[in-house]
A = this chain, B = another copy of it.
């Protein structure tokens, strides 16, 4: 028998705050006995006021003291089962936080916010010094001292961090539209009519078109929809994520995560163009298998997924067998990067060449940034300050099958994991690279190389209609060009049996790969746009053991 959230005071379609009921129901589940919580069909609303609170470090999102509607903390075996239930959130609230738990199943519901974290405005006029915008009533705002302050619910307010042009007819980013990050420091807003605002600012080229829509996004990433950390065996099935004030699903240092029929998409029947404010999904330093099966990732304001490790920097060699390490990117702070008994791989940051591996005997955490690591024995080659380390004990296999990635900002799948990776039978229509295999130790600090990637049977449908890629499939570490001729960072990538439809015939861009097979693919030329750049169909350099055949006409 299952518990119903109704037994704890929530009533579907009742309009009241279901947060206390969710808290009480989870407390009951935590006591044991029952494992299954049912969210009956209808709409449930959640406010932050009486939500559980926890300071959370969420990789690639923003850390902070979060309010959590469904706190699944230190639990073993829990199912939250909706019946097509609509969960609607109000203000700054994290819908689901799964932390240090095992065997978690979430299914059968949708997640949306009454008032989205981002806003969308119609472009009334473009002039040399900026834009005139009409902001619909469902995106409340005020102008304070020349700044736009977007008003959320429950006291939440949002600044203007990035402005990106979208085409409301195609419901995708306008062709080759430019990001306007940092606009928050260089604009003045004034009211020019009822819900009409003039932004005086310098926009990046190409300038937006009248009639298109500017999507106005805060740079804060406070409220992901589903956060998974330190957990094992988490399955999310038949869940629609219509919105989040950060990423849709973000998992870190977790093992075996399966998303099946997770659909990141704006709510049905809504005029809203944008789904989640950042990546649809993201997996940081996970292990076991990450599986994305039959999912839809569309209209989110960043990549469809990113599966990667982390490079920490050596800041001091304390002894031959001990180093101080630092998590460099602020959105990696607080990650449990390594614990005793795990293995680190050491590399030079400028070349990304590995030079030693070392078992870890002890870790002393100083704070969210720094920790002191003692090795079992001194590494064969001693690291120097500036070198980087990645954790070999936490690397994931990945299976992405039957998914659609489309009409978002930026790229499709970012793959940086040495595990076995299969990307198969997916469909892409994304404005940047559909698949990006990179790795860097100088800005995002996202490790690491791939060792076994199969990209097979996918359809790449008119990708690269934006500013976020050099080819439909782009492979190569972020190192200086001078390092590339001898570096073979990635290995064993097979691109086979895929169908490319392309106005931009740059299909594959590959650097620093040892073992690259491209064969049995087809290409159908399209005329949707003029290409965003010129280059060979297969642009391959500084690679070894390469076997390619040009795509056959389709």
Contact = CB atoms under 8 A, between A and B. Distances in A.
Interface of A: 23, 49-53, 55, 63, 65, 67, 144-147, 184-188, 366-370
B146 A366 contact: no
Given A65-B368, A144-B186, A145-B187, 13 more contacts: A49-B369, A50-B366, A51-B366, A52-B367, A53-B368, A55-B55, A55-B65, A63-B65, A144-B185, A145-B185, A145-B186, A146-B146, A146-B188
Contacts of A367: 50-53, 67
Copies of the chain in the assembly: 2
15 contacts: A49-B369, A49-B370, A50-B367, A50-B370, A52-B366, A52-B367, A53-B366, A53-B367, A63-B65, A65-B368, A145-B184, A145-B186, A145-B187, A146-B146, A146-B188
A105 B158 CA distance: 45
Nearest to A67: B367
Nearest to A48: B367
A186 B51 CA distance: 35
Give me the 9 closest cross-chain CB pairs, A-B, nearest first: A53-B367, A145-B185, A145-B186, A55-B55, A144-B185, A50-B366, A50-B370, A53-B368, A52-B367
A55 B23 CA distance: 23
A250 B370 CA distance: 28
Nearest to A183: B145
Contacts of A144: 185-186
Contacts of A23: 366
Nearest to A316: B50
Nearest to A20: B366
Nearest to A53: B367
A114 B41 CA distance: 60
A168 to B, nearest CB: 29
Contacts of A370: 49-50
Contacts of A188: 146
A155 to B, nearest CB: 10
A340 to B, nearest CB: 19
Nearest to A366: B50
A330 to B, nearest CB: 10
A94 to B, nearest CB: 13
Contacts of A184: 145
A246 to B, nearest CB: 18
A426 B67 CA distance: 46
A307 B50 CA distance: 30
Nearest to A65: B55
A23 B367 CA distance: 12
Contacts of A49: 369-370
Contacts of A185: 144-145, 147
A413 to B, nearest CB: 33
Nearest to A52: B367
Contacts of A366: 23, 50-53
Contacts of A146: 146, 188
A465 to B, nearest CB: 31
A146 B184 CA distance: 11
Contacts of A186: 144-145
Query: Which of A51, A186, A367 has the most chain B CB within a 10 Å cutoff?
Result: A367
Contacts of A145: 184-187
A184 B149 CA distance: 14
A53 to B, nearest CB: 4
A447 B540 CA distance: 73
A55 B144 CA distance: 31
